[in-house]
Amino acid sequence: MKIRYEGFMREKIQKNPVVIGPDASFFEARDLIHEKGIRHLPVLDNMGRIVGIVTDRDIREAAPSDVTLLSVQELNYLLGRLKVSAFMTPKEKLITITPDTLIEEAVSLMLDHKIGCLPVLEGDKLYGIFTETDALAFLAGSFGVKQKGTRLTVALEDKPGQMLGILEVFKKHNVNIISIVNPSFLVENKRIVAVRIQTEDYKDIAGDLEKAGYDVLSIGKWPAV
């Protein structure tokens, strides 16, 4: 059976998120966000199309300040009549993606626009949402942080084929690789690679890497002991 994993949003988004209608009240939106422990609330019309999004920040900004001269009864009356459509971020201002967007493209959009959520649309219908929490979970999964092992940080010459020698050392020691992270930037004209391996018996491996001409910059165990 062929494994399908393409790194698109279909694999990592929150499907069937909690949603609300544009005519719902301030209190309904606030209570949903608090009760469900969420920060982003897509707003859908009666056809299931997204018309905006409400965040916990929108709720805070829509609420009166502590210095208001209104009474509690007056506040409750006004907020009870305040519709979600009045304080949501409308669809026209949203950055959206599709289920076929690459995960790294989604993360880049969130960084560039300084936003914590991307609605995922299929046509004009909401397919799901991708939040900063989902992005962190993806990063943690890519690093394999839930798996016990050892991280070796190694400096390589900035030229093709350098990883081959490292992989040969791991093969010699019959060690599985949990993850390999290679940042796009250089440090003193060297590529820095962080490799997590599925063993805590690292001394001979680190020694063989040094013998092969690689600079082992640091060694760390996870979970730390």
Helical H segments across 114-214, by residue range = 132-143, 162-172, 203-211
- Give me the chain's average pLDDT, please: 86
Tell me: do 19 and 116 sit in the same domain.
yes
Tell me: do 99 and 153 sit in the same domain.
no
Tell me: do 125 and 174 sit in the same domain.
no
Closest CA to 135 of 37, 36, 221, 40: 40
* pLDDT for res 79: 75
pLDDT tier at 139, thresholds 50, 70, 90: confident
Tell me: do 40 and 71 sit in the same domain.
yes
* pLDDT for res 70: 57
CA torsion angle for 206, 212, 184, 176 (degrees, to 10)? -50
Burial code of 73-100, b = ≥16 C-beta within 10 A, e = fewer?
eeeeeeeeebebbebbbebeebebbebe
What are the pLDDT digits (tens) for 48-92?
A: 899 999 999 998 888 765 545 455 676 667 777 889 999 999 999
pLDDT at 117 > cutoff 70: yes
* pLDDT for res 9: 64
Whether 157 is covered by a domain: the verdict is yes
Tell me how far apart the alpha carbons of residues 69 and 149 are, in angstroms, rounded to a whole number: 59
pLDDT above 70 covers a percentage of the chain that reads: 88
Q: What is the domain range of residue 95? A: 9-139
Tell me how far apart the alpha carbons of residues 137 and 52 are, in angstroms, rounded to a whole number: 25
Answer with the residue of higher pLDDT: 134 or 79: 134
For residue 41, what are its two tokens? 């609330």
For residue 145, what are its two tokens? 């942080």
CA torsion angle for 12, 45, 30, 41 (degrees, to 10)? 10
Tell me: do 158 and 130 sit in the same domain.
no
Last-in-domain residue among 111, 139, 167 = 139
pLDDT at 37 > cutoff 70: yes
**CA distance readout (Å), 2 to 5, 32, 141:** 10, 41, 22
Whether 2 is covered by a domain: the verdict is no
Tell me how far apart the alpha carbons of residues 40 and 101 are, in angstroms, rounded to a whole number: 20
Whether 4 is covered by a domain: the verdict is no
Tell me: do 152 and 91 sit in the same domain.
no
Tell me: do 216 and 151 sit in the same domain.
yes
Mean pLDDT of 97-114: 92
Last-in-domain residue among 139, 163, 180 = 139
Tell me: do 20 and 61 sit in the same domain.
yes
Whether 3 is covered by a domain: the verdict is no
Tell me: do 62 and 43 sit in the same domain.
yes
Q: Do residues 126 and 42 touch, judged by C-beta distance below 8 A?
A: yes
Report the domain count for the chain.
2
What are the pLDDT digits (tens) for 160-215?
A: 888 999 999 999 999 999 999 887 778 888 889 999 999 989 999 999 999 999 99
